[in-house]
Amino acid sequence: MNNRITLIRPRCRDEEKTLRLKSVLECGLEGYEYDLLETAEETAAADLRGRRLLFAVELGESGINLEYVKLLKAMRLNRKMFEGCLAGIVVDGNSELFTKSAARHMVFSANRAGCAFPGRPLVEGTRTLRNFNIIAANLGTDNETAYKLSVKDLIERVCRYEKKRIVRPKLLALHAGIPETSNTLLLWSMIRDHLDADIQEISLRNGELHDCRACSYETCLHFGEKSKCFYGGVITEDVYPAVLDCDGLVMICPNYNDAVSANLTAFINRLTALVRVHSFSDKRLYAVIVSGYSGSDIVAEQLISALNMNKTFFLPAGFAMMRIANDPGSIVHSRGIREDAASFAAAMMKEFRE
């Protein structure tokens, strides 16, 4: 277990707003040695390669921390800033809004700069801490204590994480596209040609697909213990067994109106039954995203929020390959696309084997 961590805490000049997060971090970091970086300039100048990191951000009522914005700029301009790093993130807000969106931006940008994230890498404290109601009840404590314990648990998971190395991984690729016209499937096929892996592809276009209907916790848990769901169908018959068996999940996602498509969203929602009884923390998450015009980052952030922050999949550095293509089949004419696909595949294999 690594007992040293680097705390990246963008400076907030309103000291009154920093008191709660300061108390939470003091509890979570007890027993750890840590280095503190408080400005974008300090962070950009530091050699952070291979370190364990904790991002901790205070947000005012506006949801904006100016030093955090400067840090976002720095990491978006330096694609090797966090090469080989593994990180967790804590966001403390003075509103019921903005904590999750700020965290999504941070994780997406840091991931493109070489940072990986374990499953459930985010602890967020909203103004009232009502988001800890259930956790506090389960722990038999108050919400503020639950907040502190959650941060402590996050730091422990970041520091003790050891990557599982797999020579020939099992990959599950999910899509809902039409092979004859889908640019996203064409891009995936270019990547797949360079993967030394056992690959299972499942189309969610086939058959009737029900979205989650929000069963009671008890009902969901009952079916989840049997690796099933009340509504059955292709999700429980084909997808659940494949998810449990795979080492990596590849989401093949065209950008539909700046959102993950309906069938893939239904799959994500229906994973809840499995998550109740299984951890996916050793399963890597990848994405292939093609937009007709723009917005691939929006789709990537949705996948981060749903499958990494919520459903516990591990997020490897540079998890998504994102491109623009409009007319059917036009992606094959994109400059350097085959070389880029081969490089993405090589990075995937390196992630599993090293």
Q: What is the pLDDT of residues 246-271, one digit of tens each?
A: 999 999 999 999 999 999 999 999 99
Q: Which of 274, 212, 208, 205 is nearest to 243 (CA)?
A: 274
- Same domain? For 311 and 263 the reply is yes
* Pairing verdict, β 248-254 and 198-203: unpaired
Does the pLDDT at position 98 exceed 70?
Answer: yes
**In a shared domain, residues 20 and 140:** yes
331 occurs within a structural domain: yes
Q: What backbone torsions phi and psi does residue 72 show, to the nearest 5 degrees?
A: -55, -45
Does the pLDDT of residue 89 top 70, yes or no? yes
The pLDDT assigned to 237 comes to 87
One-letter-per-residue 3-state SS of the chain: CCCEEEEECCCCCCHHHHHHHHHHHHHHCCCCEEEEECCHHHHHHCCCCCCEEEEEEEECCCCCCHHHHHHHHHHHHCCCCCCCEEEEEEEEECCCCCHHHHHHHHHHHHHHCCEEECCCCEEEECCCCHHHHHHHHHHCCCHHHHHHHHHHHHHHHHHHCCCCCCCCCEEEEEECCCCCCCHHHHHHHHHHCCCCCEEEEEECCCCCCCCCCCCCHHHHHHHHCCCCCCCCCHHHHHHHHHHHHCCEEEEEEECCCCCCCHHHHHHHHHCHHHHCCCCCCCCEEEEEEEECCCCHHHHHHHHHHHHHHHCCCEECCCCEEEEECCCCCHHHHCCCHHHHHHHHHHHHHHHHHC
On whether residue 336 sits in a domain, the answer given is: yes
Does 213 have pLDDT greater than 90? Answer: no
Q: What does pLDDT average to over the chain?
A: 92
Q: Is the pLDDT of residue 209 over 90?
A: no
Q: Give residue-wise pLDDT tens across range 9-47.
A: 999 987 778 999 999 999 999 999 999 999 999 999 999
Give the domain range for residue 237: 170-353
Is the same domain home to 15 and 125?
yes
pLDDT at 343: 98
Q: Are residues 104 and 199 in the same domain?
A: no
State the pLDDT at residue 1.
Answer: 67
Q: Give the burial class of 63: count Cβ atoms within 10 A of its Cβ; 0-12 exposed, 13-18 middle, 19 or more buried.
A: middle
Q: Among 160, 190, 210, identify where a domain stops.
A: 160
120, 142, 160 — which closes off a domain?
A: 160
Is 297 a domain residue?
yes
User: Rounded distance, CA 248 to CA 236, Å?
Assistant: 18
Final residue before a domain boundary, out of 136, 160, 184: 160
Do residues 176 and 146 both lie within one domain? no
Listed in sequence order, the residues at least 6 apart from 289 whose beta carbon sits closer than 8 Å to its beta carbon are: 184, 253, 254, 255, 296, 299, 300, 320, 321, 322, 323
Instruction: Give the global pTM.
Output: 0.93
Lowest mean pLDDT across 214-218, 260-264, 275-279 = 214-218
- How many structural domains does the chain have? 2
* Exposure class string for 125-138: b at 16+ Cβ within 10 A, else e: bbbebebbeebbee
- Kindly state whether residues 211 and 293 are assigned to the same domain: yes
Same domain, 132 and 30: yes
Identify whether residues 197 and 224 lie together within a single domain: yes
Half-sphere exposure of 55 (CA within 13 A, CB side): 34
How far is 244 from 283, CA to CA, in rounded Å? 9
Q: 280 and 139, same structural domain?
A: no
> Which CATH number belongs to the domain containing residue 180 in this structure?
3.40.50.360
pLDDT at 214: 46
